[in-house]
Amino acid sequence: MTEVTMEQAAAGVLIEAAREAARNAHVPYSKFAVGAALLLTDGTIVPGTNFENASYGLSLCAETVALASANVAGRLRDVVAVGVVGGAVKAGGEMSGEEAVYPCGRCRQVLNEAAQLGGRDIAVYCASGDGRELRTHRLSELLPHAFGPGDLGIG
C-alpha cells in the first residue's frame, strides 16, 4: 500500500471544500462552476465560488472571492495553499470535465498579493470536475517574475 503524503492529504481536503463551495456557484451564464478553498496557517479553510453577473464582465472568480473573504477576516498574510476545482455543471448539479482547472491570470495575480505579503510560495492544487485529475504546483511556477507589493516596498 502506498502511503498518502501530508501534501496529498491537504490537497484532498481543500479540493473537497472547493467542490462543496462550487455547489453554490452563481453561473447562469457560463454554467461553469468553480470552487476554491484556501488553507490558512492555523488550518482554517476559507471557501469561495464564482459569482457571475448579467453584466458579464463584472463576474468574479472563485479564487478571488475566497481571497476577499480571507482579507475580511484579516488573514491575507496567512494563506498557505489553495485548492481549485471546476467544470461544466451537469443536470444533477455535479461538475463534469476531465481536465484540471487552473486559476486564471487575474486570480494568479491576486494570489500573489497574499503570497508576497505572507512571504510564502502558495501551493496550488488544481482538480478536474470529474475528480480524476489533480495537479500540484507552486504559485511561482504559474506566475513567474511576479509583480507585487514587494515592488512597491510593501511587505
Q: Does 113 bind ligand THU (CB under 6 A)?
A: no
- What whole-number distance in Å separates Cα of residue 128 and Cα of residue 96? 8
Contact residues for 131 (Cβ-Cβ < 8 A; gap 6+): 15, 19, 85
Given 14, 18, 37, 50, the residue binding ligand THU (CB under 6 A) = 50
One-character DSSP codes across 83-131: EEEEEEBPTTS-B--SSBPPPPHHHHHHHHHHHHHHT---EEEEEETTS
Is residue 47 part of the contact set for ligand THU (CB under 6 A)?
no
Question: Which uninterrupted H or E stretch holds 12?
Answer: helix 6-22
Q: Is 97 in the site for ligand THU (CB under 6 A)?
A: no
Catalytic: 63?
yes
Are the C-beta atoms of 31 and 90 separated by less than 8 Å?
no
Q: Which of 63, 113, 133, 141 is catalytic?
A: 63
Local structure of 22: helix, strand or coil: helix
Q: What sign for the dihedral angle of Cα 125, 7, 73, 110? A: negative
Asked whether position 103 contacts ligand THU by CB under 6 A, the answer is yes
Q: Which is nearer to ligand THU, 10 or 101 (CB)?
A: 101
Taking the least distance from each CB to ligand THU, the nearer of 141 and 152 is 141
Near ligand THU by CB under 6 A, which window of 6-14, 55-63, 68-76, 121-129?
A: 55-63
Based on the shown chain and the rule CB under 6 A, indicate whether residue 104 belongs to the binding site for ligand THU: yes
Show which residues are catalytic.
Answer: 63
Site residues (vs ligand THU, CB under 6 A): 27, 30, 32, 34, 50, 52, 59, 61-63, 103-104, 107
